[in-house]
Structure 1
Amino acid sequence: MRIPIFEKFQAFSRRDFMTQATVVAGGAVLSSCSNSTATGSSERDEPTDSEQIDVGEGFQLPPLGYAYNALEPYISAQTMHLHHDKHHATYVKNLNEALKGNSLASQPINEVLRRLDELPENIRTTVRNNGGGHANHSMFWQIMKPKGGGEPKGELAQAINSTFGSTANFKEKFNTTGSKVFGSGWVWLASDKNGKLQITSTPNQDSPILTGLYPVMGNDVWEHAYYLTYQNRRPDYLNAWWNTLNWDEIGKRYEQAKKAQ
């Protein structure tokens, strides 16, 4: 039985289309893999100007102080891009917009948080949320560094051992507290007005400053801080985070805490 020429052409066209589509798709995947392999990472080390958020006049977004991929494999470059350049920048922008024309706009952020009651009620929550986000994240970038980790030193180490029994006990209690934060928030090592250390947690972007404590160190347990790498495994993130810590900076914050009381 002879197949009409038109039907043979249709059959060939379908087979040819599927073959060509497979080749093109495969080539795109290979090209993508090749680009990632050549650069070592699909993420750029620096953002372009178009990616940067204009935070306006007033408070400014502090630089990280290290490359976006410097904390890998514990925190990915993509996470750092989004966390610093988008989330933190948005807090700063919202804070500046809320405080525009207010006398507290010229004060350090910790002072603003201490004096929230002086603000008009219609902007108080916005400043609390976004001002807390700015203060918390500004601290967060500073207490991490490339090739971090290790153990606390000096007076901070003595205070931790005196309060919690050992550094191991401190880390375990800190992680447990962080894992129990419901939803979004922070886990903190803070100093009270008597200079005594305590582990606490806060919801959302609340700072320990709101309750009269001084934040010595804190870990962000909002999902945007870890989800790209750890998904729902917050305890894995909490354990890995210790490998990023800058104990010298945390020790300085402990000294500041004692002077601030």
Structure 2
Amino acid sequence: MMFQLPPLPYGPSDLAPVISQETIEYHYGKHEQTYIDNVNKMIEGTPYAEMPLEQIIREAEGALFNNASQAWNHIFYFFSFSPNGRRAPQGKLAEAIEQQWGSLENFQKEFEQAGVTLFGSGWVWLSKDPQGKLVISKENNAGSPLTKGHTPLLTFDVWEHAYYIDYRNRRAEHLHRLWEIVDWSVVESRYNE
């Protein structure tokens, strides 16, 4: 199967000023397209050609893992946002966050701190482990909770190309502002699967 860049569920300027149109065009339109193109070239004529990205991530190593995971991570990231989505979790996810961190605000602070303190490039994740417990993790480079058997729920990209156009070297500000566009109904649907 050949992978394609899925169209975003919002316009290129709809997340501004949190994420500018220029960042969307470069980060999603160019960086993400390159990861997808690379995966398609690498899997052609191999057993990976018939696998979904999630399976490739769990089984591949090296350059194929890096490109497949980055392709999947970026789609997951950009599809967590909405210009007019729900700005706080509800139901079972809200209860789980409150039980584990005491409040949404405490969770957000710990999540941001994980992203700020990740050295170099990578991702900060909220995922659900096989026992159903919520986990915040820092993953370097193309890392993904999928490789640990966890269910990813939310991720923030802390590669410089994710924020440099809009925030220069202000990673902490970038991470804090992303809460303004997270659509918690999307995160909940992942949690409830």
For the 8 Å contact 1:189–1:215, the answer to whether it is kept is yes
CA distance in structure 2 between the aligned counterparts of 1:129 and 1:114, rounded to whole angstroms? 11
CA distance in structure 2 between the aligned counterparts of 1:65 and 1:147, rounded to whole angstroms? 11
For the 8 Å contact 1:92–1:130, the answer to whether it is kept is yes
TM-score by length of 1: 0.72
CA distance in structure 2 between the aligned counterparts of 1:245 and 1:172, rounded to whole angstroms? 15
CA distance in structure 2 between the aligned counterparts of 1:164 and 1:139, rounded to whole angstroms? 24
What fraction of aligned residue pairs are identical, expressed as a percent? 39
2:16 aligns to what? Answer: 72
Residue pairs, 1:63-142, within 5 angstroms: 63-116=7-60, 124-142=61-79
CA distance in structure 1 between the aligned counterparts of 2:78 and 2:166, rounded to whole angstroms? 18
2:192 counterpart SS class: helix
2:146 aligns to what? Answer: 209
CA distance in structure 2 between the aligned counterparts of 1:154 and 1:104, rounded to whole angstroms? 38
Tell me by how many angstroms 1:206 deviates: 1.4
2:89 counterpart SS class: coil
* Aligned partner (choices 163, 178, 183) of residue 120 of structure 2: 183
Question: Please, which runs of 5 or more residues in structure 2 have no aligned partner?
Answer: none
CA distance in structure 1 between the aligned counterparts of 2:20 and 2:174, rounded to whole angstroms? 11
Tell me by how many angstroms 1:111 deviates: 1.4
1:228 aligns to what? Answer: 165
Larger radius of gyration: 1
As a proportion of its length, which structure holds more helix?
Answer: 1
**Aligned Cα root-mean-square deviation (Å):** 1.2
CA distance in structure 2 between the aligned counterparts of 1:105 and 1:219, rounded to whole angstroms? 28
Task: Write the deviation string for residues 163-222 of structure 1: whole angstroms up to 9, x where unpaired.
Answer: 111111100000000001111100000111111101001011111111222211100011
For the 8 Å contact 2:85–2:183, the answer to whether it is kept is yes
Q: Which has the higher contact order (CA 8 A, sep 6+)?
A: 2
After the TM superposition, which segments of 4 or more aligned residues of structure 1 sit over 4 Å from their partners? none
2:189 counterpart SS class: helix
Code of the residue aligned with 1:180 in structure 2: it is T
For the 8 Å contact 2:127–2:152, the answer to whether it is kept is yes
* Aligned: 1:165 with 2:102: yes
Tell me by how many angstroms 1:148 deviates: 3.8
Tell me by how many angstroms 1:104 deviates: 2.1
TM-score by length of 2: 0.96
Residues 149 and 248 (structure 1), Cα distance of their counterparts in 2 relative to 1, 3 Å cut: closer
CA distance in structure 2 between the aligned counterparts of 1:114 and 1:165, rounded to whole angstroms? 33
The count of corresponding residues between Structure 1 and Structure 2 is 193
Residues 140 and 80 (structure 1), Cα distance of their counterparts in 2 relative to 1, 3 Å cut: same
1:195 counterpart SS class: coil
* Aligned: 1:219 with 2:156: yes
